[in-house]
Structure 1
C-alpha cells in the first residue's frame, strides 16, 4: 500500500492578495450604492411631502384671497350693517320675528342609542 502525501502548498502569490482586495472593494462599492439609493428614496419621500404641503398652502391662500375680496366688498358691508347693527335703507321697514323657545327634551345626543343597547 502506497501512502500519498499531501502536496505542498504553493507559495503565497499575488492572486492571494488581489482577490481579497477586489472582494473588499466590491463590498464597499455595494454598501455605498445601497446607502445612496436609500438616501435618494428618503429625499424623494420628503419632496413629495413638501409638494403636497405647498399644494395645500396654495389652496388655502386662494381661499383666503377669496374671503378677503368678499370682506372688502360692498355686499359684505351691507350684510353686516343689516344683521349686526339693524340698519335699513330709507323706505324699508325692519321686521323682527321672535321665535317661541324650543322645548328641550333633556336628552343628550346619543342617549337613545344607549337606551336601546342596554334596555333602559
Structure 2
C-alpha cells in the first residue's frame, strides 16, 4: 500500500513523520519476536503485557499517522476499510483503544458493535 509513495518527506510533531512511526512499530514487533524465541529469558506477566500493548499501540497509531500526513491522507478510507476487514488489524485497534481508554464507547473493529472487543488473555 505504501510502496508507491515517493513524495517529499513531511515531518510533523517532534520533526517526525509516518515513516518514523513505521520504524517504531517495526522495532516493537522485533522486540516481541525476540522474546518469543526459545532462548529468550521468560518475561513476567506485566512485562509481557506491556510489550504486547506497546506493539498494538504502535501498529494502530501508524494508521493515524498515515491518515494525518498530507502525503498519505488520501489512503484514509482504504486504511479504515483495511482495519475493519482484517481480523489481526481489528484486534490491534481494539487492544490499542482499550489500553488508551478505561472504557470503550465506540464499536469494536472486530464485531462492529459496542461489545466483544478484542483483549489480551494470559495463562
TM value normalised by structure 1 = 0.24
Larger radius of gyration: 1
Q: Which of the pair has the greater relative contact order for Cα pairs under 8 Å at 6+ separation?
A: 2
More helix per residue: 1 or 2?
Answer: 1
